[in-house]
Structure 1
């Protein structure tokens, strides 16, 4: 008889609510929602009790991070050292190589990452095993309002807000860009994790007032082949910085961790 995974969710926002509802309704076989960790009141409709982080570590064997990169930095190691497994949605935190090394070295809990809003990562990992990829480019295009950041100067903000067509907001590596856009560019970190090199992945962030769908274009090439993937997602209506598909990617990862069979891994 298989063991039911006891799940705690950190973050009761666009991702956490969808994941929590699915768990509470029994739509992920082998996984049970035990509690939710969030600093804000959950409301009467919440399907599980609100708990502190410490309480979650005492009662859960798997924590789902759905609250942002800061949670990974502050709590990631403590979760793993407690013996609890950790599923990370905010992969952008892993562009901090020191943090990534500490998480991978911590235990006895295990750390997992979800693919989030992009596909093709398994193929990039397979291609990488044949040899290094010479060039990897990611172009992310989003609505201007989702890309505004506190560090931007008035000139850049004015260009974004007055844009009538695509505007390049930032170009850099997968090491540099997710730090500047902590809620909008987790895909860059996910691609870099698949490729195995933060500096190989060149990222361009584009603001486009016509981007009613969030687009991610991945182009990669090496001695053994060339690859191109493009996805276009509807943004979550409650949080346009997040694509609607992200919580369902988390649920798919949860299903795999809970031991559901008969799916492509």
Structure 2
């Protein structure tokens, strides 16, 4: 029996119809189980490097931070994203650009989430569509948004398998890229699903204070080029100033999305 390691682009785009506008947006924050640092499984004893690395990741996820990601896609093209997340203030903002993935996927999409209020628009559009996330069922794979872990950082943390410290500020290790439900790769713009990949290598850097600065994960699909995904983390703990769009520029999503 031959096993193949497969990586697939799975960033869905959905057109939301509002009262007077339509919007294509990325739905990378699909359903997953909400995660908190206290819920993460403990790392095995006798692995201080892993303990230190996981603890550092949990500190990042427990406070606000900015992220930027640049990643190729399995079938060609790239996904780039930049934004910020504040788990305490329940704030999220991101601009995601997909190129070379096909006409239905390509484009730049903006998203702002404040608690349960989500606003999306395309780069080419001037109006935002408001979606009440409290009315979206968790089993809706296209519209459900994971407010607890929109970047996938918590899922990555929970799936880290081994870590070695290569210097005071660098790490290498392995992570299981497969999770039940939506994936977490690349961190910052979850859009790649893996099958049969096994443990995947990663490397990370930190500053002198132990804040994680970069995470690079490398996938090796069968019969396809390697996929190297790099996410940069910055402004750890700095308050966000995320605000909703002007009400005059917002249309409500059609009621059909709540059925």
**If the length of structure 2 is used for normalisation, what is the TM-score?**
0.30
Which fold has the larger relative contact order, with Cα–Cα distance below 8 Å and residues 6 or more apart in sequence? Answer: 2
Query: Which structure has the highest helix share of the two?
Result: 1
Q: Which is richer in strand?
A: 2
